[in-house]
Amino acid sequence: MNIEQFIHTFSEKGINLSETQVKQFEIYFQTLVEWNEKMNLTAITEKEDVYLKHFYDSVTASFYEDSFTKPVHICDVGAGAGFPSIPLKIVYPNLKVTIVDSLNKRIHFLQHLAKQLQLENVEFVHDRAETFGKNSKYREQFDIVTARAVARLSVLSELCLPLVKVGGVFVAMKAASAEEEIEAGKRAISVLGGKLEAKHSFELPFEKSERNILIISKVESTSKKYPRKPGTPNKEPIE
């Protein structure tokens, strides 16, 4: 996906990128590639691939969840190099964004990136999702919590749903095999106060790989015993 295709594909979705936004994506790409030489941020570095598989793919969540277009507070769990929240923030500048990541080097990259992109209302927290979810400053404080390909759904739900306020949504972005994950994660979603509202399947343009966006509503408060201590959700997922 070259830049012209990137702009055009968004315009077909009713998103008209300004010159400033186009420039921000260009700065994002340059910064990502430059820092990727010093630390492992992404295996995808070809420009057309980055624009399709990282930038465009990140924003697809907003095609299926209207809340992203409003000035809501979102939390991105395990964002790595900033996906999906930074592309979403570029496209929807009114979003307030908090990113939590367990690797301090990635937090440094994101802080530098935010300065380069001149982003406002962004916060970066170096923490494990399990301890972050116990922190009263953040627990059940977010309108939307997102995660993209971080862990299987049963694990991801325990890391993300405690952060979603009742009435908010958890948006899980998955590649293929979402059906198996949904089946395995049903009990975890329910135990943690969530309800699967919708699964949206589509293909990325041009390369046609499958993507799934799961919209999970927070219908009741999460029990205080979740999330469990670091490492436990992954070793012993709720089943």
Residue set of the binding site for S-adenosyl-L-methionine? 78, 83, 129-130, 148
d(CA 199, CA 208): 18
Q: Which of 202, 182, 206, 221 is nearest to 62 (CA)?
A: 202
HEC-encoded secondary structure of 59-91: HCHHHHCHHHHCCCEEEEECCCCCCCHHHHHHH
Q: Which residues are annotated as a binding site?
A: 78, 83, 129-130, 148
Q: Which of 147, 165, 137, 168 is nearest to 233 (CA)?
A: 147
**Tokens standing for 192?**
């943690």
d(CA 89, CA 71): 10
Residue with tokens 């948006």: 171
Torsion, Cα 39 50 90 8, to 10 degrees, reads 170
Query: What's 127's DSSP letter?
Result: S
d(CA 156, CA 77): 9
HEC-encoded secondary structure of 24-49: HHHHHHHHHHHHHCCCCCCCCCCHHH
